[in-house]
């Protein structure tokens, strides 16, 4: 069984928080992270953060690929945003340019992470 990995974009501070966990509180899962400064787990309100799941794939440089990353295929013209498709029950690549088609994410493709939708590239 694969371990689910998450990260979060902090909308207020405009920074990425890596290694976000899910903590079960009163029967409901809440995102949390370990705060080095206070040395404790912090649960945060989802309205202030965008939670992103790892695809379980890495790019050609060994960088883990998450939702909302901007990727391109090696030696391929065009940038795509990584999204999860509920209809297809898998991660897909949505083209940034309108004249391209969406692509299913498949293990073994030569992806390159070039940024994400929050920070750019």
Ordered by start, the domain boundaries in the chain are 6-51, 54-116
pLDDT in tens, the chain (121 residues): 467 889 989 888 898 988 888 777 788 777 787 666 655 566 776 678 888 999 999 999 999 999 999 999 877 778 999 999 999 999 999 999 888 888 899 888 899 999 999 987 7
Long-range CB contacts for residues 51-58, cutoff 8 Å, separation at least 24: 51/6, 51/7, 51/8, 51/20, 52/6, 52/7, 52/8, 52/9, 53/4, 53/5, 53/6, 53/84, 54/4, 54/5, 54/6, 54/7, 55/82, 55/91, 55/105, 56/2, 57/91, 57/105, 57/107, 57/111
- The CATH code that applies to domain 54-116 is 2.30.30.290
pTM of the model: 0.83
């Amino acid at each position: 069984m694969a371990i689910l990995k998450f990260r979060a974009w902090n909308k207020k501070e405009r920074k990425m928080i890596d290694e976000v966990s899910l903590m079960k509180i009163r029967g409901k899962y809440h995102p949390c992270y370990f705060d080095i400064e206070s040395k404790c787990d912090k649960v945060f309100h989802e309205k202030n953060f965008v939670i992103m799941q790892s695809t379980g794939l890495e790019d050609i440089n060994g960088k883990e690929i998450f939702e909302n990353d901007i990727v391109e295929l090696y030696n391929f013209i065009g940038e795509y945003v990584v999204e999860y498709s509920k209809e297809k029950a898998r991660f897909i690549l949505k083209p940034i340019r309108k004249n391209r088609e969406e692509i299913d994410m498949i293990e073994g493709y030569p992806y390159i992470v070039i940024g994400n939708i929050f920070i750019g590239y």
